[in-house]
Amino acid sequence: MIGWEWLTRYNYTRSFIVRVIAKAGLLFLLVNLIFWILQPLPIIGRISIYNILVPGRERLPYGESPEAYNLSLYNLDAMFASHNIARIKAPDEFRVAVIGDSAVWGVLLTNPSTLTGYLNRELLTFEGKKIVFYNLGYPTLSLTKDFIFLEFATRYQPDLILWLVTLESFPISDQLASPILQNNVSHLQRLHEEYGLDLDMNDARLVHPNIWDKTLLGQRRALADWWRLQLFGIGWSNTGIDQQIRGFEPRSNDFDQDTEWHTFTIDEPFIEADLAFSVLSASKKLPTQIPTIIINEPIYIADGANSDLHYNFWYPQWAYDRYRDMLQQQSEQNQWNYIDLWNQIPPERFTDSPVHMDEIGSQLLSEKVMIVLNNFLNELKDTN
């Protein structure tokens, strides 16, 4: 009798466990199916403690340094929701979005020492409104990367765009080299169709999510990154730290005699079709016609071995001079608001790359930009 009761109890327990496992499995499949259908990551990304419980970040999240309360992620909605540009625009605010590469973002600089940090110290006004500058620079060199951030920024009602560019952002072959683009194929596809960007959507570097990648389980890394970004907000709000600034290897000053740039040589140089001028033109097609000033950013100019052939280790002189001529011509033909500041910062003010500056260099650049800005705003005031 005891054996029979034990067997009955054992069968009941085993049946119960099987039912629990089966229900859990069905629930797991159902949750993943719902996640796959709804694709809620953009909506989740817009849920943020920034600008509500803690201040918005002064630059877009980038890096893999927990002690800097920062990380790189691919969810554009979450990145912008964490930025101070996502806060409600004040009625008396004239909002300026500053777009560009790592020099704008501010590698080796604290937030107050970036270009936007110095510009905001000036407390400029325009027609009774306070001018507020927002740092939307992001490391990696690609005009298409810049454009996707620019297009995203239009959601936050900027009144003016400052777009800092350099030759390394122009090669057509490198437009999709940035991981932030490779992992945002849906955004790229939309920009490709709406603005006619010259992009190879079959590029092998692009990450096309499959069915599994779109499930809850497949998106667990993206969800974890979103959650980490929220947690880092507490440390960021208490310290203002979003970058560990350490020592660096200074930019090169001596070069060899090889003057090839990418695959081009002085005998077989690049032509306009090899550079992404069409991306700059696409900004004119944005739904809201926001005035844009394109600025050719300063570069380091060397004086060492073979400096008669090279400006720096990025740019042979023939290539950079050719680019500047092309950019000037394109600006005139397309009536872009364009200014060239390529040689406006002393060489000693550059740090670890041909475009990264120290605090003094950043301040000097802000002074040059203020002159450009004041001239533009005066013209804008006259036309109004």
* Residue 214 domain flag: yes
* Residue 34 domain flag: no
* Residue 13 domain flag: no
Q: Into how many domains does the chain fold? A: 1
* Residue 267 domain flag: yes
* Residue 86 domain flag: yes
CATH number for the domain including 102?
A: 3.40.50.1110
Q: Tens digits of per-residue pLDDT, 15-45?
A: 656 665 666 556 555 555 665 565 777 888 8
Q: Are residues 67 and 243 in contact, defined by beta-carbon separation less than 8 angstroms?
A: no
Distances (CA, A) of 53 to 48, 88, 227: 9, 14, 15
Q: Tens digits of per-residue pLDDT, 218-251?
A: 688 888 999 999 999 999 999 999 998 888 889 9
Residue 345: burial class (beta carbons within 10 Å; 0-12, 13-18, 19+): buried
pLDDT at 141 over 70: yes
Alpha-carbon span 193 to 68, nearest angstrom: 38
* Residue 2 domain flag: no
Give the Cβ contact number of residue 268 at 10 Å: 9
pLDDT at 245: 87
**Cβ burial 133-142 (10 Å sphere, 16+ → b, else e):** bbbbbbbbbb
The domain of 188 spans: 39-383
Q: What's the first-to-final CA gap in the chain, in angstroms? A: 99
* Residue 9 domain flag: no
* Residue 311 domain flag: yes
Q: Report the amino acid identity of residue 344.
A: Q
The mean pLDDT of 195-220, rounded to a whole number, is: 81
pLDDT at 204 over 50: yes
